[in-house]
Structure 1
Amino acid sequence: MKHCRIALSLLLLSGAAGAAGAAISVKDGSGATVTLAQPAQRVVTLAPHATELVFAAGAGGRIVGASDYSDYPPAANAIPRIGSSSQVDAERLLALRPDLLVVWQGGNGERQLAPLRRLGVPIYRSEPKTLGDIPDDVERLGRLTGAEASAAPAAAALRARLAALVARYRGKAPVTVFYQVWDQPLYTLNGRQIVSDAIRLCGGVNVFADLAALAPAVSVEAVLQKNPEVVVRGGQAGEDAPGLAIWKRAPALLATQRGNLYTVPSDLMTRAGPRMVDGTEALCGLLEQARRKRP
């Protein structure tokens, strides 16, 4: 009965919206068309990077619910939580009467989304595969929320920063890189994951780019065999980075020999939102340090 009342409310909202003006349509990250009768007023974001994207578009004030760990910008901490990206509280979410869901294409499973889809709640899927997809998402979410006036310049600024990085690091000598997501067990990312796009922009070469899995487990022996010039670990800024201790005990590794064991804040690299441009800038600086250490 509760679901029926919510469904009726959504239908009434949809009907009232239809008279307000021309429909808004955009393509989302999956290539599907998302159509709204009017700009979204009640947005729920089901991944931290999605929350950051909506804020970057200038529509953070319209987010009525967000997933756990949506902690940036600081204003996001005041948004009610509806669960994690892997386990959403559907009752709590539906009670918020959303007119747009922004979901993580690779993280929010069909089991979570199916009941919402049956109620007709529009879903925008976001999973940028390249850095250039990030400003595209900002722009599209700006259209869906009626925030084009703020989203367009925000997207343009991100594109300008990326273009400046491309120009600065184009033609730099290649640097082989092992990107360490976690150390127990040891995980990395393949060439299709967006972090690899950042590595490529900086003139780096992901030594495990050719693996089939997006986030494959690898062995210490496999890393030693690849012998990367740089090891980069996602972690918290300023921490001791205990996950790099593996490589400090491996003096034969080129990255260890040259002192190229680095940490980049995880939130700047693993969240495919606007701050990933900051993370890419930091990563490029680290690879440039490695180049300067060459004999």
Structure 2
Amino acid sequence: MLKHLFCALLLALALPASAIEIKDDLGHTATFAAPPQRIVSLLPSLTETVCELGACARLVGVDRYSNFPAQVNALPKLGGMDDSNVELIASLKPDMVLLAVSSRVSERLRALGLKVVALEPRSYRDVQRVLGIVGQVLGVDDAQRIWRHIEAGVAAAAGSVPAAARGLKVYYEVASGLYAAGESSFMGETLTKLGTGNIIPARLGPFPKINPEFVVKANPGLIMIGARGSEGLAERPGWNRIDAVRHGRICVFNAEDGDILSRPGPRMAEAAQIMARCLREKAGS
């Protein structure tokens, strides 16, 4: 015991007084002598978080899907979650790489001596936590101001939902192949905050693959879906019997809205407004 305490004391004395130490979602600890100035982000929600915290100028590269704010489009694009260009990332000499827990390159980047922070917000609580971690690393005093803005925006969106939409059963298809937003996902949490029901229970997970017949039996009163996945929706076997299809209560989101809706980060209040607009437009139809 004394030996462990002595080692911990030596380590503490070796670190600068201003050192920042955080633990990521994979349980790895990263220590920074000072806030990083060259950042690579390989997840759009993390890119947006860095920028919202006022550190967009510190980004030196992003994944191919990071497209907001517009200024990140001028940065080197480093691939996606499964095909990130490790050599190009290393050549940018980042002092921090932000990526998803499910990224396949985290260990390879760590083996090259890069400081990797794996964070993957999947719920409202996660978003608040990740804001705090990234804000701490960046040296931002009040990162939670962004969370307060999100909460206020979501509450305002909820206040705009008409009474007729309260309790309406919703099916939100997030990707082709019938992947849906369940109650336990951040999208599902938003729907709950807006006062709607969700035909996908939490026990099925945040984004489960759904049998088409499950949706028919659940008979949602409203469907939310991206433009690409909406083609031929009414022709799916049995779906012409679904209330949402019979009454035309289908909200089709364009690519820009789809990006906002699918990213658990600073624009979640905007996502709530998009959903609320859908409910206002379709609830009485």
Equivalent residue of 1:86, what SS? Answer: coil
Give distance in 2, aligned partners of 1:168 and 1:27.
Answer: 39
Deviation for aligned residue 1:210: 4.2
Q: Match for 2:83 among 69, 82, 87? A: 87
1:178 and 2:174 matched: no
Equivalent pairs, count: 268
Judge conservation of contact 1:29–1:128 (CA < 8 Å) in 2.
Answer: no
- Code of the residue aligned with 2:100 in structure 1: it is W
Deviation for aligned residue 1:97: 1.4
Q: Match for 1:216 among 208, 212, 220? A: 208
What pairs with 1:46-125 in structure 2 (closer than 5 Å)?
Answer: 46-105=42-101, 107-109=102-104, 112-125=105-118
Deviation for aligned residue 1:284: 2.4
What pairs with 1:1-295 in structure 2 (closer than 5 Å)?
Answer: 19=16, 21-29=17-25, 33-105=29-101, 107-109=102-104, 112-148=105-141, 151-165=143-157, 173-183=166-176, 185-210=177-202, 212-235=204-227, 241-242=230-231, 244-246=233-235, 250-264=239-253, 265-293=257-285
Judge conservation of contact 1:255–1:261 (CA < 8 Å) in 2.
Answer: yes
Shift in CA distance, 210/130, structure 1 to aligned 2, threshold 3 Å: closer
Equivalent residue of 1:133, what SS? Answer: helix
Identity fraction in percent: 27
* Cα displacement string for residues 2-57 of structure 1 (whole angstroms, at most 9, x for unaligned residues): xxxxxxxxxxxxxxx965x4111345455665432210111111112211111111
Equivalent residue of 1:181, what SS? Answer: strand
Equivalent residue of 2:51, what SS? Answer: helix
Deviation for aligned residue 1:230: 0.8
Give distance in 2, aligned partners of 1:141 and 1:153.
Answer: 13
* Cα displacement string for residues 133-154 of structure 1 (whole angstroms, at most 9, x for unaligned residues): 33443343222122436x4543
Deviation for aligned residue 1:208: 1.8
Deviation for aligned residue 1:131: 2.8
Give distance in 2, aligned partners of 1:164 and 1:28.
Answer: 32
Judge conservation of contact 2:154–2:268 (CA < 8 Å) in 1.
Answer: no
Give distance in 2, aligned partners of 1:192 and 1:273.
Answer: 16
Judge conservation of contact 2:158–2:276 (CA < 8 Å) in 1.
Answer: no
**TM-score, length-scaled by structure 1:** 0.78
- Code of the residue aligned with 1:285 in structure 2: it is R
- Code of the residue aligned with 1:64 in structure 2: it is V
Judge conservation of contact 1:179–1:189 (CA < 8 Å) in 2.
Answer: yes
Deviates more, 1:34-43 or 1:117-126: 117-126
Gaps of 5+ in 1: 1-16
- Code of the residue aligned with 1:49 in structure 2: it is S
Give distance in 2, aligned partners of 1:246 and 1:136.
Answer: 42
Give distance in 2, aligned partners of 1:118 and 1:127.
Answer: 21
Deviates more, 1:192-201 or 1:115-124: 115-124
